[in-house]
């Protein structure tokens, strides 16, 4: 059964189409929320999110992704191949905001583990877009998300230029235990590197993901490649912008970085 999109986000009275002023249909944000230069209120950090995550890992030519990264930041690579992550998220009740998300990022090697620079990302909520940009330099854009009716999970994302991506995911094998993942999001914010701690907790299933990307779209560089691994977490708990006490190290990032990286560790200014 495919997941049906929410009729609207939890903090709005009606769904807001791309290009419409969200203030026209919003009952008003909670007291104390910051407001962007565009007049869109968004939650302060940290953001607590709960929901379903679908992710795939890819190895693509390093030269393909280097131009997407902030200046002075190099990808985690083996030989001439960089590790790229694509993700699809459905954030549910219990989250600071309820919305859908499609992202692509490039893995990085950092002093204390595993990093990710989010190079492409779309959401269906103006507050999420404003907060991601203002707080952490995450380049969020608006898109529409819709079910496709295929697979255990099937959705597509579209913007005003047409289809961006489509994902069909079928769960195949549960992985025993909990798999906490701690990493750093490394972005450019107001001309400087911004390093943000991110923690994900939840059970993980291995699965088969089929991605479709528009040939002329921003993720078209992934066409012709196959993911090396695809995973799902049906009840993930995410903290974005958490402090050090919540971002203790986990085994997975260090092991993954050690196996894939032939480069010295990088250190990012804080």
Q: How sure is the predictor about 255, in pLDDT bands with cuts at 50, 70 and 90? A: very low
Q: Say what the pLDDT of residue 105 is.
A: 98
The region of weakest confidence among 61-65, 177-181, 191-195 is 177-181
- Percentage of the chain exceeding pLDDT 90: 67
Residue with tokens 């066409």: 223
In angstroms, rounded to a whole number, what is the distance separating the alpha carbons of residues 232 and 12?
A: 28
Burial of 266 (0-12, 13-18, 19+ CB in 10 A): middle
In terms of pLDDT, which residue wins out, 138 or 109?
138
Ordered alpha helix ranges (H), 39-166: 62-65, 126-136
In a domain, 265, yes or no: no
Q: Say what the pLDDT of residue 79 is.
A: 86
In a domain, 36, yes or no: no
Q: List the one residue out of 195, 210, 226 whose CA is nearest residue 81.
A: 226
In a domain, 119, yes or no: yes
For residue 134, the SS3 value is: helix
* The token pair that represents 118 in the structure block: 């989010």
Residue with tokens 């090697």: 109
Residue with tokens 């961006």: 164
In a domain, 58, yes or no: yes
Residue 15's φ and ψ, nearest 5 degrees, are -70, 150
Judge contact between 243 and 58, C-beta under 8 A: no
Q: Which contacts qualify for 225-230: CB closer than 8 Å, 24 or more apart? A: 225/58, 225/59, 225/60, 226/58, 227/56, 227/57, 227/58, 227/86, 228/57, 228/58, 228/59, 229/56, 229/57, 230/54, 230/55, 230/56, 230/57, 230/169, 230/206
pLDDT in tens, 121-161: 999 999 999 999 999 999 999 999 999 987 789 999 999 99
In angstroms, rounded to a whole number, what is the distance separating the alpha carbons of residues 111 and 265?
A: 6
Instruction: Provide DSSP, 139-159.
Output: -EEE-EEEE-S-SSEEEEEEE
pLDDT in tens, 207-233: 999 999 999 999 999 999 999 999 999
- Helix, strand, coil content of the chain in percent (nearest 5): 15, 45, 40
In angstroms, rounded to a whole number, what is the distance separating the alpha carbons of residues 75 and 268?
A: 13
Domain count, the chain: 1
Can you give the CATH number for the domain in which 152 is found? 2.40.400.10
- Tell me the chain's radius of gyration from C-alpha atoms: 18
Q: Is the pLDDT of residue 102 over 60?
A: yes
Q: How sure is the predictor about 262, in pLDDT bands with cuts at 50, 70 and 90? A: very low
Give the range of the structural domain holding residue 244, as residue numbers without chain letter. Answer: 42-260
In angstroms, rounded to a whole number, what is the distance separating the alpha carbons of residues 121 and 130?
A: 12
In a domain, 16, yes or no: no
In a domain, 9, yes or no: no
In a domain, 20, yes or no: no
Positions of E strands within 96-203: 100-110, 113-123, 140-142, 144-147, 153-159, 162-175, 181-189, 192-201
Q: How sure is the predictor about 16, in pLDDT bands with cuts at 50, 70 and 90? A: very low
Q: Say what the pLDDT of residue 195 is.
A: 93
pLDDT in tens, 234-254: 999 999 999 866 645 443 444
Residue 142 CB contacts under 8 Å (≥ 6 apart), including other chains: 18, 122, 123, 124, 126, 129, 159
In a domain, 201, yes or no: yes
In angstroms, rounded to a whole number, what is the distance separating the alpha carbons of residues 194 and 156?
A: 30
């Amino acid at each position: 059964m495919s997941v049906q999109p929410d009729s609207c986000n939890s903090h709005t009275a009606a769904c807001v189409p791309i290009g419409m002023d969200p203030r026209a249909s919003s009952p008003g944000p909670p007291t104390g929320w910051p407001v962007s230069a565009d007049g869109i209120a968004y939650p302060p950090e940290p953001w607590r999110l709960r929901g379903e995550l679908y992710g795939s890992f890819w190895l693509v030519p390093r030269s393909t992704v280097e131009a997407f990264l902030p200046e002075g930041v190099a990808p985690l690579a083996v030989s001439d191949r960089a590790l790229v992550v694509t993700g699809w998220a459905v954030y549910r009740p219990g989250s600071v905001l309820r919305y859908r998300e499609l992202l692509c990022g490039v893995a990085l090697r950092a002093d204390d583990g595993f990093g990710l620079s989010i190079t492409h990302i779309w959401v269906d909520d103006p507050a999420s877009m404003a907060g991601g940009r203002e707080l952490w330099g995450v380049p969020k854009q608006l898109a529409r998300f819709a079910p496709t009716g295929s697979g255990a999970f099937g959705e597509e994302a579209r913007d005003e230029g047409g289809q961006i991506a489509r994902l069909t995911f079928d769960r195949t094998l549960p992985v025993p235990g909990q798999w906490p993942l701690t990493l750093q999001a490394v972005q450019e914010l107001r001309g400087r590197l911004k390093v943000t701690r991110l923690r994900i907790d939840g059970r993980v299933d291995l699965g088969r993901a089929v991605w479709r990307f528009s040939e002329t779209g921003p993720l078209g560089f992934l066409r012709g490649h196959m993911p090396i691994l695809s995973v799902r977490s049906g009840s993930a708990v995410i903290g974005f912008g958490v402090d050090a006490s919540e971002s203790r190290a986990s085994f997975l990032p260090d092991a993954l970085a050690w196996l894939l990286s032939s480069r010295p560790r990088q250190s990012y200014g804080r």
